[in-house]
Amino acid sequence: MIEMPPLQFAQVNGIRMGFYDAGPKDDPIPMVLCHGWPEIAFSWRHQLKALSAAGIRVIAPDQRGYGATDCPETVEDYDIEHLTGDLIGLLDHLKIDKAIFVGHDWGGFIVWQMPLRHPARVAGVVGVNTPHTPRTESDPIELLRKKYGDHLYISQFQDRSGKADKIFDSRVAETFDFMMRRPMPMKASAETADGPPAAGLGASPKLNMAFPQLVAGYDAKLDPREKILSDDEMNVFVESFRKSGFTGGINWYRNMTRNWERSGHIDHTVRVPSLMIMAENDAVLPPSSANGMENIIPDLEKHLVRDSGHWTQQEKPEEVSGKLIEWRRRRFG
């Protein structure tokens, strides 16, 4: 049986946001869990249960464009200013002064931006798989195209006509059957993984990252990889995205150039206690992509999760939850 707290709603930053809230309401420094693409707050179901049982208040929103939260039509409504502003609006709604922000995948990019843009509201940051990197010298999309070509899913997502969106929308079950699996055995440790990807959003050039085409031709019967979701868990993702579609989440990618253009004035040094959780076998965001984070995060700890692919908090829930609890108690009481 899948256990989740009751779904709640808040009007924040011009949208209605769905979120889950568990644990003691008098916890002075809650943890806000931010999902990535293509995910929803349900991705944190294990941590919601474990952290709240440990006496930590934990809040997990469906972020803008996902799940039970509104999906604005304008692409620019998904830029980094809106996405970080939504989380501040959620704190305001819940009358929370400061929080620790935890983010996986795209949620990681959001939470690393929180102390840069809203320092008074951030007590600490945890990145899961997603590193914090300095601002690139040029447009990150152009860097990715030069390194990986136009077939890379991120490059394809820049097409606002929605070709990629339509592929995922027409094959929702196949999308999650393809995505939510453990990687094949590989040697991608902190010592052997490929070098840092451009803007923290890349992979080995040897990998086929043309996700729309892979999903379009996907046949689960031919996939030897191990599933990480039960049938009931898979159904939660599939039903959610059948309702919301994929465009809202893909619009986050369509703002990468805009975000870069509008961030030139920001000091990228993170000045709060921070934790970087890395996954040994994540081919998209390998442990090596976190190399050098110490240069822009003075108070940084790192933890490597062995034998995990990209969906770390779902693949290794006990280890991720345990590390979050241990770090939170040691650093914040």
Q: Which residues are catalytic?
A: 105, 310
43 Cβ contact list (under 8 Å, min separation 6) = 35, 36, 104, 311, 313, 314
30 and 121 in contact (C-beta within 8 Å)? no
Q: How far apart are CA 38 and CA 126, in angstroms?
A: 20
- The secondary structure of residue 150, as a DSSP letter, is T
Degrees to nearest 5, angle at CA 93 with 91 and 96: 40
- Tell how strand 99-104 and strand 31-34 pair up: parallel
Q: How many CB atoms lie within 10 A of CB 3?
A: 9
Helix (H, G, I), strand (E, B) or coil at 104: strand
End-to-end CA distance of the chain: 32
Sign of dihedral through CA atoms 106, 179, 70, 236? Answer: negative
Q: How far apart are CA 263 and CA 279, in angstroms?
A: 28
CA 220 to chain centre: 25
- Torsion angles phi and psi, residue 123, rounded to 5: -90, -35
330 Cβ contact list (under 8 Å, min separation 6) = none
Residue 260 to residues 20, 103, 142, 276, Cα–Cα distance (Å): 31, 19, 11, 23
274 and 300 in contact (C-beta within 8 Å)? yes
Residue 151 to residues 1, 30, 165, 213, Cα–Cα distance (Å): 40, 40, 15, 9
